[in-house]
Amino acid sequence: MKEEDLLNELNEAASQYEEHVSSLQKKDTYTSEIDRNFQEINQRYKELENNYKSIADITQEEKSLRHRIENECHSLKKRVSELNNLKSQHEFEISTLEKRLSSDEHSSSHRLKSLRTMLEETSRRERNLEKQRHELELRSNSAEEKINNLEAKICGYDKTLCLGVMSIFTLLGAHQGLHLEDLENANAGSETQVIHGKSMELLNLSLKTFWQNISRLESEKNELKNSVEEWKMRVDHSNFKEKEYKERSSKHKAQIKRLEEQLKKMEEIISRKDFQLATQDDAIQRKDSEINLLKKRNIPI
């Protein structure tokens, strides 16, 4: 009985021991699982911690980037404002220059037209004066030729006069000799006296005609000389006027050239201003595009 009880107790103790061993095994398995879960949780925690640090770094970088973008946007807005002000200033300058150019161009065109009209009138007068001067030169040359011819004629008449005077003296000498001979010969006939009387009348008439011709030639010569002097004065006056018109024409041409150069300079200034304005417009459009791109990315400006 005791052995059976002892055996039962042993069996019961063995059963309890097995249960206890089984329970311990289960506890070891559970503990291992807990350790494994703890390790997984710890690893997950570390991953989450690393992710948090990464997210924090990304957030800090995003904040820095946002701050940098905000500063850049502020700078861009400031630059756009400056460009708009500069554009307005250039537009005002161009408008002022265009008004000034329009006014200057109108006055310059009117002045240029007036100068060209004066230049044409001066050229016309210059041509007329040149024509008159040429005609006066021809007349002067003709008058000088006539004077030379008259002087040659007068020289010829002077020679003729000398010969005539010598002939007259010869005739007078012969007549005086005849008259003395007649006085000596009182019985001479009346026919000889008549011949001598006619000779004296013819001689007086020849002398009178000769001196009249000489006087007429001298008068014509003086008149032609006066005409030549007058024509020479006209030629000199014409040359003076021609020189004066040429100087005025040269001044008018210089004024026209200066006006054309001023117009060209004004056009070059406006062209440069237009180019600067176009460059500023391009810069403003680029900045506007950058600002619109930042707005599309939901970055506050």
Query: Would you kindly state where each structural domain of the chain is located, as residue ranges?
Result: 2-296
**Residue-level pLDDT at 268:** 81
Q: Are 122 and 247 in contact (CB under 8 A)?
A: no
**Residue-level pLDDT at 184:** 47
CA dihedral 174, 175, 178, 184 (to 10 degrees): -130
**Residue-level pLDDT at 209:** 78
Task: For residue range 284-298, list pLDDT tens digits in order.
Answer: 777 777 767 766 665
Residue 187 structure tokens: 């019985």
Task: For residue range 63-102, list pLDDT tens digits in order.
Answer: 777 777 778 777 777 777 777 777 777 677 767 766 776 7
* Alpha-carbon distances of 298 from 78, 95, 301, rounded to whole Å: 20, 40, 9
Predicted confidence band of residue 55 (pLDDT cuts 50, 70, 90)? low
Model confidence, pTM: 0.41
CATH T-level fold of 2-296: Helix Hairpins (1.10.287)
